[in-house]
Amino acid sequence: MEDDAGRQIAEALGTLLKRATRARLHRTLTEGMGEAVDELTYPLLSALARTGPRSAAELARDVGLDRSGVTRRASRLEDAGLVRREPDPSDRRAALLVLTDHGRRTVEALRRRLADRIAASLSSWPPGEAETFARHLRRFIADGPFT
Amino acid sequence: MEDDAGRQIAEALGTLLKRATRARLHRTLTEGMGEAVDELTYPLLSALARTGPRSAAELARDVGLDRSGVTRRASRLEDAGLVRREPDPSDRRAALLVLTDHGRRTVEALRRRLADRIAASLSSWPPGEAETFARHLRRFIADGPFT
DNA sequence: TATTGTTATACTCTATAACTATA
DNA sequence: TATAGTTATAGAGTATAACAATA
């Protein structure tokens, strides 16, 4: 029985992790948000909103990217006015990446858009099942085959 | 309530779609399977196993990739002996991509490895919840925010 | 005239290495 | 000596466009 569940989950994961699926989701989410916001820069914005100002090195670990990659993406966001660089008071080598007001509003809009899409697809579910699914999914991600 | 579920799901999806998460999963799955099997060629192997012999053009639509990309990946798999090209009897322009015995065994091993990892992470779940989660996940992928 | 598989080209993104400044 | 941010470089991957063969 559990083996069958495993196979079903494996297949669903395959679809979810497909290039085309991810690209479509990111495209619809970031549509109209400006050129700087896309599949590549969204994780930085999201991480900064979640954790507050961070250095590029810290952010790199969080996002799973090299420092140089963070620099490039952050520079794009800075040019677009979504992020600014501030000197780190506790370490003069470092520069903290901080969301601007525009950046904060953009992240909020992106999150709302995603939550709306998800809520729309859950609206036809029987009462309570969405909450159950959310709980299961969180648990699965937390101690699933990814850690 | 549903809004809260939406936020929780959104956050979990963020983690799941992260570069680092995907890379780690693919790396552990394809480890020791030979150089030709990796994050890029796995979708082709999986699709061929699921649907049987296909032309590159058909496979391109399925995998969400350009024809030229399919050609390149298929050539790597062919060099490694996992796939062979056969003339399409019904269309002499086309070449069918077919899994070799080695390719079939490889796909089976990959699927078993993934199913095992998933089953292991589900083994501590209360009875019945894994099946419920699998059903929900399939439904969510099918008519979720991805279509 | 359209479509197939393939290849060459330009483009993008990445990690690596090198650099300067600070710890 | 090690680590911060940045930049240049090389490598890998993609889509686009072009090609000959077939529909």
Residue A143 scores a pLDDT above 70: yes
- Predicted confidence at residue A1, as pLDDT, reads 53
CA A78 to chain B, closest CA, distance in angstroms equals 22
- Predicted confidence at residue B135, as pLDDT, reads 97
Cα dihedral A50, A55, A58, A61 in deg (nearest 10): 90
- Predicted confidence at residue B1, as pLDDT, reads 53
Distance of C1' in D13 from CA in A129, Å: 40
Q: What is the pTM of this model?
A: 0.90
The range of the structural domain enclosing residue B132 comes to 2-143
Q: Tens digit of pLDDT for each residue in A86-130?
A: 999 999 999 999 999 999 999 999 999 999 999 999 999 999 999
Residues of A in contact with B19 (CB under 8 A): 43, 63-65
**Secondary structure string (H, E, C) spanning chain B:** CHHHHHHHHHHHHHHHHCHHHHHHHHHHHHCCCCCCCCCCCHHHHHHHHHHCCEEHHHHHHHHCCCHHHHHHHHHHHHHCCCEEEEECCCCCCCEEEEECHHHHHHHHHHHHHHHHHHHHHHCCCCCCHHHHHHHHHHHHHHHCCCC
Which portions of chain B are predicted below pLDDT 70? 1-2
Q: What mean pLDDT is predicted for residues A125-147? A: 92
Would you say how long chain A is, in residues?
A: 147
Q: Where are the beta strands (DSSP E) in chain A?
A: 54-55, 83-87, 95-99
- Predicted confidence at residue A2, as pLDDT, reads 61
Distance of C1' in C17 from CA in B31, Å: 28
Residues with CB under 7 A from strand C: A 38, 40, 65-69, 72-73, 91-93; B 19, 55-57, 67-68, 71-72, 74-75, 85, 91, 93-95
Q: Tens digit of pLDDT for each residue in A29-70?
A: 999 999 999 999 999 999 999 999 999 999 999 999 999 999
Average pLDDT score over chain A: 94
8 Å CB contact between B94 and B83: no
Question: What's at A36, amino acid-wise?
Answer: A
Q: How many CA atoms lie within 13 A of A4 on its CB side?
A: 6
Total CB pairs under 8 A between chain A and B? 177
Cα dihedral A27, A108, B18, A88 in deg (nearest 10): 130
Which residue, among B122, B135, B147, would best test binding to A if mutated, counting the most A CBs under 10 Å from its CB? B122
Count: domains in chain B: 1
- The CATH number given to whatever domain includes residue A82 is 1.10.10.10
CA B60 to chain A, closest CA, distance in angstroms equals 11
Distance of C1' in C11 from CA in A65, Å: 21
